Amino acid sequence: MDGVGVGAGVGGVRGSGADVSAPARGNGQCVLVIVHDSAIAELLTTTLELADYRVTAARTGAQGLARLAEHRFDLVVMDVSVPDVEELGEGRRFRPADRPPVLFLAEYEKLGLLVPELGLGESDYVTVPFRISEVLTRAHVLLRGRGAVRQGPCYGDLVLDDATCQARRGRRALDLTPAEYRLLRHLLVNADRVLSKEQICRHVWGETRAGNAIEKLVSRLRHKVDQEQPPLIHTRRGFGYRLGR
């Protein structure tokens, strides 16, 4: 995380210490994570998903604004030092009912950057380095009284419905296997990020698969998703795969 100090764990994350209380859990709410550091973003995304949230990721203010324009979120978790954070000022054009609460991640000396003119809703903050349990608790408090939304994450005309594990591109339903759906969702919530084969294997199957299992799975998914233009699933040879334009 740009500008975020290193705690006793990964990046700006502190170790759990003596905190043994059960973490607060979600109820299917949609969360937008705007964090530039890829390791912290992946940690937050994975933790929130395990806590029953539906998570979409963005790495810059411009990407965050694009996600907010494409989909309605229940909560935004944002690093205050994310690049081009001023782009999120465009959020002021959203109607009050569409402004999600925001949980800021900030170093103590950067609390002055919690600018109210972002145009989002109610806010709170967690100082960096942070404990994951604290993030989950603050998120739970901000979301109190806000129910789960029916639509899952989306990217342009690609929409997933986590309640039914179905996906659509435009008006066309995609007939996906469970592994294809898990792969597509993982690519979508990490849109514009390159995911390695190892990362995909761990998420889809929980283990590393030998041979060309990933290549075959991605090929089948691409055939189903990319019948329309523009193609969304791309190969970065030697690195992995990404979803984006």
Percent of the chain with pLDDT over 90: 23
Confidence (pLDDT) at 226: 95
What is the predicted pLDDT for the residue at 241? 95
Residue 9 has pLDDT above 80, yes or no: no
User: What pLDDT score does 121 carry?
Assistant: 55
Tokens found for residue 83: 């690049």
Provide the b/e sequence for 217-227 (b: ≥16 CB within 10 Å).
Answer: bbeebbebbee
Q: What is the pLDDT of residue 12?
A: 59
- Confidence (pLDDT) at 150: 44
Decide: helix, strand or coil at residue 202.
helix
Give me the mean pLDDT over the 81-103 stretch: 65
DSSP code of residue 122: S
User: Is the pLDDT score of 13 beyond 70?
Assistant: no
- Which of 26-35, 69-78, 106-115, 219-228 has the weakest average pLDDT? 106-115
For residue range 22-80, what is the model confidence (pLDDT) as tens digits? Answer: 567 887 788 999 999 988 999 999 899 888 888 888 888 888 888 887 777 889 999 88
Across the chain, mean pLDDT equals 78
**For residue 94, which of 58, 115, 68 has the smallest C-alpha distance?**
68
The third-level CATH classification (topology) of the domain covering 30-143 is Rossmann fold (3.40.50)
User: What percentage of the chain exceeds 70 in pLDDT?
Assistant: 76
What are the residues whose beta carbons fall under 8 Å from the beta carbon of 206, sequence distance 6 or more? Answer: none
What confidence tier does 166 reach under pLDDT thresholds 50, 70, 90?
confident
Residues 100-129 as b or e (16 or more Cβ within 10 Å = b): bbbbbbbbeebeeeeeeebbbbeeebbbbb
Q: Where are the domains of the chain?
A: 30-143, 154-243
Task: Give residue 4's pLDDT.
Answer: 38
1, 106, 117, 185 from 120: Cα distances, Å: 22, 17, 8, 26
Give the CATH architecture of domain 154-243.
Orthogonal Bundle (1.10)
Element (H, E) at 107: strand 102-107
Residue 117 in this model has a pLDDT that exceeds 70: no
Query: Which tokens is 227 given?
Result: 């019948």
Q: Mean per-residue pLDDT for 127-135?
A: 87
